[in-house]
Amino acid sequence: MRRRRAGDGLAVDKRNLTNGAETGIKKVALKYCGGCNPGFDRVAYVESVKSAAGPVIEWVALDDEGFDTVLLICGCETACPRRSLDFSRYRQSVSIKNDKVSPRDLVKILLESEEANED
């Protein structure tokens, strides 16, 4: 199944998730926009998210393999990478355009399992 939700600069695009089911550690690929004129400190925000996630998320890059979920950090509403990258290749992509979503809530969204999405 596939679901979308949006609001507060947050967009989630989900398909069936499998990664991390065995180990309890989820791999998430982190991708930033280029940062031409961001409205918030993207790096500081990501550090907060990483801190909130602790060891349950293993952060990788888009060039790596073995992840289901992509976290896209965009500095403004334009969200340039959504124009140039094909996110349909990934089972779940979560994109952020501001820092209104708390790091803790974002981690929850990233960790939501396949079962939790079957409603």
Partner 1 sequence: MKIRTKEDYIKSLKDQKVVIYYNGELVEDRTAFPAFIPHINSAAKTYELALLPENEDLLTATSNVTGKKINRFTHIHQSVDDLIKKVQMLRLIAHETASCFQRCVGFDAMNSLYMTTYEIDEKHKTKYFERFVEYLKKIQEENFMLVGGMTDPKGDRSKRPSQQADPDLFTRVVEKRKDGIVVRGAKAHQTGAVNSHEIMIMPTQAMGEGDEAYAIVAAIPLDAKGVTLIFGRQTNDERKFECGIDAGNCEFGMVGGEALVVLEDVFVPWERVFMCGEIDFTGMLVERFATLHRQNYGGCKGGVSDIVIGASALAAQYQGTLDASHIKDKLVEMLHLAETVYSGSIACSAMGSKTKSGAYYPDPLLANCTKHNITRVIYDISRLAHDIGGGIMATLPFDKDLRSPVVGKYVKKYMKGVEGVSTETRMKIVRLLENMTGGTALVESMHGAGSPQSQRIMYQRLGKLGQKMKMAKKIAKIDE
**Interaction site with partner 1 (CB under 8 A):** 30-37, 42-43, 46, 61, 73, 80-81, 83-84
How do 57-61 and 92-96 pair as beta strands?
unpaired
- Beta carbons of 5 and 14 less than 8 angstroms apart: no
Compare residues 8 and 47 and give the one whose CB is closer to partner 1: 47
Taking the least distance from each CB to partner 1, the nearer of 63 and 119 is 63
Pairwise CA distance, residues 35 & 119, whole Å: 36
Nearer to partner 1, 12 or 74 (CB): 74
Return the DSSP state at 77: T
In the chain, the amino acid numbered 17 is L
Instruction: Provide, rounded to whole angstroms, the least separation between the CB of residue 4 and partner 1.
Output: 23
CB-wise, 34 or 66, nearer to partner 1?
34
45 φ/ψ angles, rounded to the nearest 5 degrees: -65, -45
In the bound complex, what is the minimum distance in angstroms from residue 76's beta carbon to partner 1? 11
Q: How far is the CB of 67 from partner 1 (least distance, A)?
A: 15
